[in-house]
Amino acid sequence: MEDADVLEGIYRKFCETGDISYRESDAVFRIAQRFFSRKSYLSLKDVVPKWYEKVKREISNGRRGVFMHTVPLGSTEDFYRNLGTAGDPANLASCLTEINYIFREMKRPVCINLVFLRDKDRLCTLGDNIPKTLLVKRFDKVNNKNAFRFLRADTLRRLGNFVCIDLDGIKAREFDIACAYRYEMEEKNCAVDRLAQVYAAVFLELESAGIKFLTCSSRAGYAYGYLDELSVFADEKDAERIEGALKTADCVAESLKGAVKEFSVRDLYLFSPAKDGEPSMNDPYFRKLVKSHISQFFPEKRKDAVEEEEEEWVDMIR
Domain residue ranges of the chain, discontinuous segments joined by +: 3-105, 164-317
From residue 244, give the alpha-carbon distance in Å to each of 53, 89, 98, 107, 240.
Answer: 37, 44, 31, 17, 6
Average pLDDT over residues 202-221: 82
Average pLDDT over residues 8-16: 96
Strands 213-217 and 162-164, bridge-based pairing: unpaired
Whole-number pLDDT of residue 295: 94
Closest CA to 119 of 196, 218, 186, 216: 216
Closest CA to 196 of 238, 278, 253, 273: 253
In this predicted structure, the answer to whether residue 230 has a pLDDT above a threshold of 70 is yes
pLDDT category at 10 given cuts 50, 70, 90 is very high
Whole-number pLDDT of residue 268: 63
In this predicted structure, the answer to whether residue 108 has a pLDDT above a threshold of 50 is yes
Close Cβ partners of 271 (under 8 Å, ≥ 6 residues apart) = 181, 184, 185, 188, 190, 191
Report the C-alpha gap between 32 and 96 in whole angstroms.
12
Radius of gyration of the chain (CA): 24
Per the prediction, the chain carries an average pLDDT of: 79
CA angle in degrees (0–180, nearest 5) for 193-288-201: 45
pLDDT category at 177 given cuts 50, 70, 90 is confident
H or E stretch covering 113: strand 113-116
Whole-number pLDDT of residue 206: 94
Q: Express each pLDDT in 239-296 by its tens digit.
A: 999 999 999 998 888 888 666 776 666 566 677 788 877 889 999 999 999 999 999 9
H or E stretch covering 101: helix 87-105
Positive or negative, the CA dihedral 70, 73, 76, 82 is negative
Give percent of the chain above pLDDT 70: 77
Whole-number pLDDT of residue 316: 38
Whole-number pLDDT of residue 318: 40
Closest CA to 168 of 261, 251, 244: 244
Average pLDDT over residues 22-34: 92
Closest CA to 185 of 171, 198, 167: 198
Close Cβ partners of 283 (under 8 Å, ≥ 6 residues apart) = 192, 274
In this predicted structure, the answer to whether residue 77 has a pLDDT above a threshold of 60 is no
Report the C-alpha gap between 183 and 189 in whole angstroms.
10
In this predicted structure, the answer to whether residue 71 has a pLDDT above a threshold of 80 is yes
Whole-number pLDDT of residue 96: 87
Whole-number pLDDT of residue 314: 38
**pTM for the model:** 0.74
